[in-house]
């Protein structure tokens, strides 16, 4: 692959502490990755840091460079590490180049000093919070098995006190997934969040044990169930699309609007046709194909021996990204919501189709229900955007539709076509009730919107 055919920018999740963290969250897929580096001190050396920043800058043909820090817990490196990272960005930057540093943290170690630093240097901070206390503390506990909610909320309030740009990452698991509106309203009304990500927790099992590799065809009891995840998204979407469009931003909904507009990219790799532009850099300089594939079979090399450009452009990495599309079973390719789903993440494709093909996504049933459900509102939103009208008008349009529905309710049979024009039966559309109630899962296995 020549420099002309390389993507003009890439996203690398750098892990300066590797898998080391001060917490011991039960569902964390990365904690056990420390077994890949048994003799390591788990701190990125300065020469690796400098090499990484220099190569990242040399790679980029685009003036906008995102430098992403993750873990483990990246704040364990201390502020001086990130000051050196900023110094290297300044030293090696090209004319006109602009940097955005992002950092994902559990929030428990944040102080005024950290937040002053983040504000001064325009860091975007992601903070992990799984909902109100009773839901958050189920799985997000420290190494002494103590709850972490109060410490996380203290960190969040410090970010807000200092005006640091931030978002909330929720890991949707088998417990909090049964309480979507409680989670969403807590984040919106009590945590003061206006940007949210909902990431499904899926732990694969081999011989009944969680594996550090992408292996196994059953999941742990902590893992969210497919239809449970779909109902979680549906309930939150219904609340959001009626009350919060333009005020609260949900990453999955943003991506969906982009796919309904048929834009080239959804903004989320899981909902794009191919992947391979989001890599993971370990503290040693080892570069992996993806954050979810930090394992020997997906090790591309080390930046102290090979340039980022060489590894990103390698045949191995191109095949990795293209396989997201090429390994899709026919069931997915012919699916009515494929344009929105794109098969989701390859790490979750470990089921078989009814026809016996491998590669069906574990979350298929949930995503299919979700994307079918949101079709009508998203068509309205896409039309508003094409007409250059405020997309928040969708709330007004839906309110008018529902007023008309109320006037005829009782005159429509549950199996009649819904009069909104969606093509669905009334009971599956505006006649649906109980969106926030948990359902039994028959498949239980072991552009900003403004």
**From 291, 297, 326, 436, active-site residue:** 291
Q: Which helix (H) or strand (E) holds 350?
A: none
Q: How far is CA 88 from CA 8, 49, 92, 93, in A?
A: 21, 9, 6, 8
Query: Do residues 320 and 269 lie in contact, with contact meaning Cβ atoms separated by under 8 Å?
Result: no
348 close to 363: Cβ distance less than 8 angstroms: yes
Residue 291 annotated among the catalytic residues of the structure:
yes
Tell me the torsion sign for CA atoms 397, 398, 401, 407. Answer: negative
- In three-state secondary structure terms, 50 is helix
Q: How far is CA 433 from the centre of its chain?
A: 28
Backbone CA torsion sign across 52, 308, 284, 118: positive
- Buried b / exposed e over 209-226, threshold 16 CB at 10 Å, is ebebebebeebbebbbbb
The answer to whether 106 and 73 are in contact (CB under 8 A) is: yes
SS3 (DSSP) at 107: coil
Taking the mean position of all CA atoms in its chain, how far away is CA 126?
Answer: 11
C-alpha to C-alpha distance for 391 and 381, rounded to whole angstroms: 6
Cβ proximity of 132 and 147 under 8 Å: no
| 393: three-class secondary structure by DSSP | helix
β-strands 166-172, 124-128 pairing:
parallel
Distance (Å, whole) CA 220 – CA 414: 37
The DSSP symbol for 190 reads: I
Q: Which residues are catalytic?
A: 291
């Amino acid at each position: 692959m020549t420099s002309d055919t390389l993507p003009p920018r890439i996203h690398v999740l750098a892990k300066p502490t590797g898998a080391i963290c001060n917490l011991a969250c039960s569902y964390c897929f990365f904690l056990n990755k420390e077994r890949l580096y048994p003799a390591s001190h788990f701190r990125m050396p300065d020469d690796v840091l400098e090499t990484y920043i220099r190569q990242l800058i040399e790679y980029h043909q685009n003036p906008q460079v995102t430098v992403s820090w993750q873990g483990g817990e990246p704040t364990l490196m201390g502020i001086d590490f990130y000051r050196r990272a900023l110094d290297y960005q300044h030293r090696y930057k090209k004319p006109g180049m602009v940097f955005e540093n992002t950092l994902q943290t559990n929030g428990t170690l944040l102080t005024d000093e950290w937040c002053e630093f983040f504000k001064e240097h325009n860091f975007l901070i992601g903070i992990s919070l799984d909902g109100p206390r009773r839901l958050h503390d189920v799985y997000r506990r420290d190494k002494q098995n103590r709850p972490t909610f109060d410490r996380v909320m203290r960190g969040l309030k410090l970010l807000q006190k200092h005006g640091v740009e931030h978002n909330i990452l929720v890991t949707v698991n088998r417990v909090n997934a049964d309480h979507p509106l409680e989670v969403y309203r807590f984040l919106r009304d009590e945590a003061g969040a206006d940007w949210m990500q909902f990431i499904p927790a899926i732990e694969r099992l081999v011989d009944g044990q969680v594996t550090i590799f992408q292996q196994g065809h059953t999941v742990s009891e902590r893992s969210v169930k497919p239809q449970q995840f779909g109902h979680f998204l549906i309930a939150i979407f219904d609340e959001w699309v009626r009350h919060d469009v333009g005020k609260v931003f949900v990453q999955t909904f943003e991506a969906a609007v982009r796919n309904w507009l048929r834009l080239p990219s959804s903004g989320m790799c899981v909902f794009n046709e191919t992947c391979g532009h989001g890599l993971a850099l370990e503290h040693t300089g080892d570069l992996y194909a993806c954050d979810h594939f930090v394992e020997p079979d997906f090790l591309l090399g080390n930046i102290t021996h090979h340039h980022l450009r060489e590894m990103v452009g390698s045949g191995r990495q191109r095949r990795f990204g293209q396989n997201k599309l090429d390994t899709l079973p026919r069931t997915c390719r012919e699916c009515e919501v494929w344009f929105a789903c794109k098969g989701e993440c390859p790490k979750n494709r470990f089921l078989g189709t009814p026809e016996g093909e491998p590669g069906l996504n574990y979350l298929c049933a949930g995503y299919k229900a979700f994307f079918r459900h949101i079709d009508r509102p998203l068509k309205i939103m896409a039309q508003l955007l094409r007409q250059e009208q405020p997309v928040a008008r969708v709330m007004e349009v839906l309110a008018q539709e529902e007023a008309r529905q109320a006037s005829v309710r009782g005159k429509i049979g549950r199996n009649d076509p819904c009069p909104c024009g969606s093509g669905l039966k009334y009971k599956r559309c505006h006649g649906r009730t109980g969106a926030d109630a948990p359902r039994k899962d028959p498949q239980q296995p072991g552009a900003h919107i403004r």
